[in-house]
Structure 1
């Protein structure tokens, strides 16, 4: 509150262009801090300084802080690997290939390698200082290089950046090039910092003067400011969930200077994917009935396919996006071809949610493995060997209007009224409606078993309507709405998988972060593997278990090739965001998600999963973990969260108590 960006030292020499050294110094500061509050303050104040002294640099600064240069759905990739980095570093230093390899073995991070390689270089002529804008534009130029001679061209552009980079700039330019900034602050942190900067923005640019008397007003204004900050954070998060593109949001912010007004302009746009709504995992059907007592809900088959967000504009142009917002339109030309035929009369533009499944000529849904065998690039209608069908389950946008605030019953009605089936190509998910009362439980159980019998993973359970006003205040489901909530995992959608109901153990999506060297028959391979859950609150990975079961010899070999020093996936030291007391022989870069089953979840003095949520100084661990498969459809940020891990543990405790009571009751009856 007492920070004054107008008086920040050195800004008089900026001349309207923020130096990259300013950004690099902030990255260096933040990477050495574990206190999230301090980190947010630094990031917020950094953005305030740029807004005041170089407003044209706020957009590139936001992208660089987000460890990206464009939204994921644009598919703009830097494509920088060891070959290009080595070539560029040899060109700006006296370090040869052998020395580079030794440096990488020592540091395990290309940013640290570059910093060490250039540390001894002395230049006669001082290079012109890099600016934030120049770095960002050069990165875009690198991403745009295609075709023959691309390696040399990219290496030349990287070399040009490194020649001008000084000190910490070298480290963070290279980390940006390999998309691994390692500062502990990515999307959520940047969102909050920008929202807070916007609250101060009007004061910072002198539109309403609180700076002069602010120190005297601190005590009186704390509560008011805290409310404003929270409202701004929630507003910007909601805005970004519907329109995850800084290229659109930041210019609106700079124009309006008010997050609440930005939301008036920010909303669903055909062609820009909104972040998908996700369902909470529930332990079993009984728990589901308790949560949704006296509420009407729909049960839907949960198919083993690929989730897709389907867009079509008024001109009939189609876009398909994956659950993590990657553009996969070119992968499915057969879906693009059929979409114009699914619209009923009067339907123009739309955005729908659905599942893509492999389907044979008899209309039978095939396993996910069959779908994964489809080609991913250069797919044409005449080369398709695995036909697919879209099974739609939600509608978020119709004829230029957002449907997010409608109830699920209303959205589903519009979906079925405005779209028509196309045999084996487009259909609606199989569903049934029920009420959270005893008379419907047998019907839901039968529907669940039918889903499993048809090859599905279980069912999705979704509230049909908003809560009635007559609902008792004490009712647990009172606050659950049936709106579509982008980028949220809420209990109005519940995921009931066969793993939970059949009692074969918890299925978790965990991230490999390290391994020990195998012995005996497994000598030369990695075994066991250290796995972690994701804590989105502080963006860390907390260890959950060591897994050495479920792997085939073929997978062991593939894993050794995948996690290697050559492809930058093996580190000599743990990443700053790893939370564990264990010391594996090898640290992995967090770049995969594995599905893991186990017997049960226990409190652990060793592992740090969900630490502090159940017991203050102990975490949770998965007993007898077994590898099931690699989840190629999930980024690490969508791994099982520490909050969910704690929830599953508590549900397990409740179930165990109930089982013990049932056993005691049975023993009494037997006696």
Structure 2
């Protein structure tokens, strides 16, 4: 059974098991641990906690993890016992996110990279074994094989010669057909370029072209691993390869000195004398991490962007780093005619960790009172099933980059299309409007008005491009 793994659960597992690895060996008795100070306990438990988290990221299944812990405790062998396994989803790696194109160019420091438009789609993790059995998982580790039968048929045919089994990740377009898909009729226009981050003009133009066609932004992936003369040589061809886990930990004193002497094919130890030289950016895959050699540059939510006041009405349990909080959060507009609240989007951007913690405490179904959470109110229009429904009481100002027609969200249904509502994409939380109540939140009529303005701007921009092209031709 696949479960989310809150930090407190992993910590409890680490503490309760019989063997905890330390620099000096193993602690075998719980009473010996109980006699230690809080600071020492933290130092003792942190390495073991890192090992358990690394295992859970690669095989998030308690039925495998707990028996292994009971048998061998927390040690390096656990990483082998509970490593990758076909048809069990691993937690996805994520790219670093920035809305500053200049910062991205600076971070890559002239390296070769590949840029691709970031389309609106669903992440798919595809497992294929030597018998051509295919299983497909979503970002949230849910089985969705039946939704993509065309991929089930395609993947065994495209694996390279000599490859028996594989795990790959990719993006499936949101507007693709779901049933009776014929591979020969599928047409995807995926734009990409290879460049260096020194080609600022080409990179900027590509980013602009992506956002002009309503993409969320671009993905930037490092292609090279230029050697640093002050770094040890690396004979491993790490590009696109999933390596065994390395779990760096913060250490002090003698532990830090001992750690500096260690190195492996997966660890790059930077000499303190060469701190001004750039580090190698290995294009490897690290489950459940957000790394700098893969960047996502998203649309800017600048001061000229449209804003709308929305009501928070529900949320889902966060995953990975956000497992202790609510994320994403469901937001709604108000229908001024019926008084109903119409769900319009899920929001994950613009929140600080402090905000997440405060929001989780406010909408906690286990707090005993339950005054801020309830079952689904009859006046909320939404067909999905969040983990928790909020008592609608807060208005949030959000900046938006795009409004799109939606078959899922019914906000403004009939105001723009009879069979489609409107949804917000690339939404960024700005602030809580403590000066406003629910009755002053944005309405579906206002949302339809913003959509009309967006379409008018797109039409004008298209006409300008045609005129520019005609001038160049002339």
TM-score category, normalised to shorter length:
0.5 to 0.7
SS of the residue 2:76 aligns to: helix
Q: Displacement, 1:250?
A: 1.3
Q: Displacement, 1:244?
A: 0.9
2:201 is matched with which residue? 442
Provide closer, same or farther for how the CA distance between residues 569 and 256 of structure 1 changes in structure 2, counting only shifts above 3 A: closer
CA RMSD of aligned residues (A): 5.0
1:493 to 294, 298, 310: 294
1:218 is matched with which residue? 36
Gaps of 5+ in 2: 231-273, 316-329, 361-376, 396-408, 410-422, 436-440, 449-474
In the TM superposition, 1:171-570 aligns within 5 A as: 187-198=6-17, 210=29, 218=36, 225-357=41-173, 368=174, 370-371=175-176, 374=177, 384=180, 387=181, 430-437=191-198, 440-452=199-211, 456-466=215-225, 468-470=227-229, 473-474=275-276, 478=279, 481-500=282-301, 504=305, 512-513=313-314, 521-522=336-337, 524-526=339-341, 540=357, 542=359, 560-562=380-382
CA distance in structure 2 between the partners assigned to 1:594 and 1:251 by the alignment: 45
2:366 is matched with which residue? none
CA distance in structure 2 between the partners assigned to 1:456 and 1:345 by the alignment: 35
Provide closer, same or farther for how the CA distance between residues 427 and 594 of structure 1 changes in structure 2, counting only shifts above 3 A: closer
Which structure would you say has the larger Rg? 1
Provide closer, same or farther for how the CA distance between residues 429 and 484 of structure 1 changes in structure 2, counting only shifts above 3 A: farther
CA distance in structure 1 between the partners assigned to 2:378 and 2:282 by the alignment: 45
SS of the residue 1:218 aligns to: coil
- Asked if structure 2 preserves the Cα contact closer than 8 Å seen for 1:535 and 1:541, the reply is no
1:71 is matched with which residue? 2
Gaps of 5+ in 1: 1-69, 73-184, 358-367, 390-422, 544-556, 575-581, 585-591, 608-622, 630-671
CA distance in structure 2 between the partners assigned to 1:315 and 1:461 by the alignment: 34
CA distance in structure 1 between the partners assigned to 2:386 and 2:379 by the alignment: 12
Q: Displacement, 1:518?
A: 9.4
Q: Displacement, 1:529?
A: 10
- Asked if structure 2 preserves the Cα contact closer than 8 Å seen for 1:307 and 1:353, the reply is yes
Provide closer, same or farther for how the CA distance between residues 342 and 567 of structure 1 changes in structure 2, counting only shifts above 3 A: closer
1:645 is matched with which residue? none
CA distance in structure 1 between the partners assigned to 2:447 and 2:294 by the alignment: 25
Q: Displacement, 1:277?
A: 1.1
- Asked if structure 2 preserves the Cα contact closer than 8 Å seen for 1:518 and 1:524, the reply is no
Query: For each residue in 1:490-534, what CA deviation from the matched residue of structure 2 results, as whole angstroms up to 9, or x when unmatched?
Result: 332221123458963799x99644999999934522389999866
- Asked if structure 2 preserves the Cα contact closer than 8 Å seen for 1:512 and 1:530, the reply is no
- Asked if structure 2 preserves the Cα contact closer than 8 Å seen for 1:342 and 1:426, the reply is no
- Asked if structure 1 preserves the Cα contact closer than 8 Å seen for 2:116 and 2:190, the reply is yes
Provide closer, same or farther for how the CA distance between residues 497 and 196 of structure 1 changes in structure 2, counting only shifts above 3 A: same
Provide closer, same or farther for how the CA distance between residues 511 and 341 of structure 1 changes in structure 2, counting only shifts above 3 A: farther
Q: Displacement, 1:230?
A: 0.8
Query: For each residue in 1:94-146, what CA deviation from the matched residue of structure 2 results, as whole angstroms up to 9, or x when unmatched?
Result: xxxxxxxxxxxxxxxxxxxxxxxxxxxxxxxxxxxxxxxxxxxxxxxxxxxxx
SS of the residue 2:109 aligns to: coil
Query: For each residue in 1:332-363, what CA deviation from the matched residue of structure 2 results, as whole angstroms up to 9, or x when unmatched?
Result: 21221222221232222111111223xxxxxx
TM-score by length of 2: 0.56
Provide closer, same or farther for how the CA distance between residues 279 and 428 of structure 1 changes in structure 2, counting only shifts above 3 A: farther
2:243 is matched with which residue? none
Q: Which has the higher helix share?
A: 1
Q: Displacement, 1:201?
A: 6.6
SS of the residue 2:219 aligns to: strand
1:173 is matched with which residue? none
Q: Displacement, 1:240?
A: 0.9
Query: For each residue in 1:43-69, what CA deviation from the matched residue of structure 2 results, as whole angstroms up to 9, or x when unmatched?
Result: xxxxxxxxxxxxxxxxxxxxxxxxxxx
SS of the residue 1:332 aligns to: helix
